[in-house]
Structure 1
Amino acid sequence: MNKQKLWEENIRTVSIALSFMALAVFTGTMGYMFLDEAYNWIDALYMTVITISTVGFKEVHALSDAGKLFTIFLIFISFGIFGYMASAITRFILDGVFRRNLKDYRIVKKIDKLTGHVIVCGFGRNGKQASLELMDHGEKVVVVDSKETAIDRVRMFPDLYFIQGDATQEEVLDMANISKASALITAIPNDAENVYVVLTAREMNPELRIISRSSNSQSDHKLKRAGADNVIMPDRLGGQQMAKLVAQPDVIEFLDNILLQSSEGVKLEEVSCHGLAGCFIGKSIKELSVRNRSGANIIGLKNDEGAYVYNPAPELVLKDNYHLFVLGSKEQIVRLKKLLQRGN
């Protein structure tokens, strides 16, 4: 039995127990009022409660024979009801369902406050790897998966947020705060579901960067038409990687060491020229003296036409809408960003 069903069953059991208890209190109150005119509704309710709880307080008024027989009847039926209710509530607490759902509720509230986070749909092999890599680079990640077993794996990583639900549904993506997210990765094994996720996400947030997994090469164009910015085929990438490790082993290991290592080491990062300092306008890369002033290296860029320039010439003049690809340590890249923005 999964935890959602366990939660529903425990809620139903506690509700039934409380209903029986309420019925017993109502029956006892009405019974004392009916059998003895000396009891008003407050006295009758008091007598019912002390009888059911077996605390042993003295009765408010002396009971008639009928009242005594009714009290015996009430004690017998209340034993079973009280025991059933205590058992239901105890199981509800000991099963951890209440505590777990309270924790999940708090996580949903935290997700409501996130901005610029990344949503990862599916926590299989690819989704898990993507989530951990993003988390390693300081990104806030919200995992969406419909499977309870997957959510249990997510719980093992305290820094990951999660929503259990179907990512193709708008209300689930809305719970993941998609309107304020910066990107979405859908890594569901089923291509049809990925198409639905991409369509729904693109409609809900037109500015969102969407990256989708694809298991079939025929799904590539469908996913892009649906709104995916990039489509990744893990099987194809894996095959290419293995082939290149045979043909160019040192080159591949060198690139892997840069791209896949911890964010604390040397890394390749994109740096926007937006807001370029006034003193750099119309200046070339050579005139910026990036290597000497920051320690980082510009190894490529994306120009205003969307074209990629590899190993740009020193004479190339930077523009405000260029994106630089920079190789360096975390500190060096921070210095470069400050240099481009402030000009010193």
Structure 2
Amino acid sequence: MLIYRVDEPRLGAMRVREWRRRALHSIGLLLLVLTGATAGLVLLNRSHTSLATKVFNAVWDGVNLITTLGDFTDFAKDQKIFMLLAMFATLLVGGYAVTTLTGVLSGDDVMAYRENRIMARKLENLTGHVIVAGFRPVGERVATRLREAGETVMVLVADQTLADKAAEQGYLVVLGEPGVFDDVLRHARLDTARVLVVTSTDANANLAITLMAHRLNPKLRIAVSGENSLRKELLESAGASDVVIADDLIANALVAQLGIDLKVAI
């Protein structure tokens, strides 16, 4: 799977534009050689055929020259000399094209640019997905169980290593630094998502993500972990639909393992 990078390396787009400029320049030079070869062959053609026929034959021979498929054995000496010069010009243009275009599109920044273009098209049609913010142990487990349940899972991360890990496991990934996480949420298609699960280990980050997500889509169901009842109230006021206090879950699980009825214990 690919990674959508919100803070896309701008150098990639610049390199692609530069490659296109050089490619157009090379094509222009080839057309210039073709035009020159055509004009020269027309002028050197001393046959009594019509001008239209001379032009057609000249264009045909010029294209053969550029594509290196020509057979010019029937040419007169002055035509052969002219074609030798045209061949040399074609070689120069071909060498220029090879040296200026080769390797421009093989850099990491260009690959990131291409990935973003592909991922942008995927995200445009995405709907009914579940978003998991964070891919540390808890987030990874949540994503795994959701996918096992048949959900389409998107992972939001701020770390390149975690993004690579999630992508290797086949998840849709949106990567962005904490400073641009509002843009990360916008690209995650919250408007068509079913649920957002916030699993960051940073309590303040969880609160901020919940608040931003609720602002972008007030109807979105948001599940997030909280540390205590006060944090739960803050998260709910920020727009969280479901707040899970980890310590309560652990305590309940431990008591349940002892076989003690929680109601009796209370």
TM-score for both structures, normalised by structure 1: 0.51
Give the Cα–Cα distance (whole angstroms) in 2 for the partners of residues 105 and 136 of structure 1: 25
Give the Cα–Cα distance (whole angstroms) in 2 for the partners of residues 71 and 212 of structure 1: 69
Give the Cα–Cα distance (whole angstroms) in 2 for the partners of residues 188 and 254 of structure 1: 32
Task: Summarize the Cα distance change of 1:203–1:102 in structure 2 as closer, same or farther, 3 Å threshold.
Answer: closer
Identify the match of residue 54 of structure 1 among 43, 68, 71.
Answer: 68
Identify the match of residue 168 of structure 2 among 149, 156, 178.
Answer: 156
| Aligned position for 2:256 | 251
Matches within 5 A, 1:316-327: none
| Aligned position for 2:46 | none
Task: Summarize the Cα distance change of 1:203–1:41 in structure 2 as closer, same or farther, 3 Å threshold.
Answer: farther
| Aligned position for 1:181 | 193
What displacement does 1:26 show? Answer: 2.9
Task: Summarize the Cα distance change of 1:64–1:254 in structure 2 as closer, same or farther, 3 Å threshold.
Answer: farther
Matches within 5 A, 1:62-73: 63=79, 65=81, 68-73=84-89
3-state SS in 1 of match to 2:131: strand
Matching of residue 130 in structure 1 with residue 148 in structure 2: no
Question: 1:77 is matched by which residue type in structure 2?
Answer: V
Give the Cα–Cα distance (whole angstroms) in 1 for the partners of residues 65 and 239 of structure 2: 67
Identify the match of residue 225 of structure 1 among 237, 243, 266.
Answer: 237
What displacement does 1:183 show? Answer: 1.6
Matches within 5 A, 1:263-302: none
Aligned residues: 241
User: Does the aligned pair in 1 maintain the 2:163–2:173 contact within 8 Å?
Assistant: yes
Give the Cα–Cα distance (whole angstroms) in 2 for the partners of residues 60 and 79 of structure 1: 28
Give the Cα–Cα distance (whole angstroms) in 2 for the partners of residues 96 and 35 of structure 1: 44
Question: 1:76 is matched by which residue type in structure 2?
Answer: L
Give the Cα–Cα distance (whole angstroms) in 1 for the partners of residues 174 and 190 of structure 2: 12
3-state SS in 2 of match to 1:211: strand
| Aligned position for 1:199 | 211
TM-score for both structures, normalised by structure 2: 0.62
Matching of residue 18 in structure 1 with residue 23 in structure 2: yes
Structure 1 regions of 5+ residues with no counterpart? Answer: 256-298, 300-309, 312-344
Normalized per residue, the structure richer in helix is 2
Give the Cα–Cα distance (whole angstroms) in 2 for the partners of residues 131 and 47 of structure 1: 63
Give the Cα–Cα distance (whole angstroms) in 1 for the partners of residues 259 and 31 of structure 2: 77
| Aligned position for 2:182 | 169
Matching of residue 143 in structure 1 with residue 159 in structure 2: no
What displacement does 1:212 show? Answer: 2.9
Give the Cα–Cα distance (whole angstroms) in 2 for the partners of residues 41 and 196 of structure 1: 70
Task: Summarize the Cα distance change of 1:56–1:220 in structure 2 as closer, same or farther, 3 Å threshold.
Answer: farther
What displacement does 1:161 show? Answer: 3.4
**What per-residue deviation string (whole Å, max 9, x for no partner) do you get for residues 25-83 of structure 1?**
23213433554554759945x55554344334449976375554243122233134246
User: Does the aligned pair in 2 maintain the 1:108–1:163 contact within 8 Å?
Assistant: no
Higher relative contact order (CA 8 A, sep 6+): 2
What displacement does 1:120 show? Answer: 0.9
**What per-residue deviation string (whole Å, max 9, x for no partner) do you get for residues 280-300 of structure 1?**
xxxxxxxxxxxxxxxxxxx9x
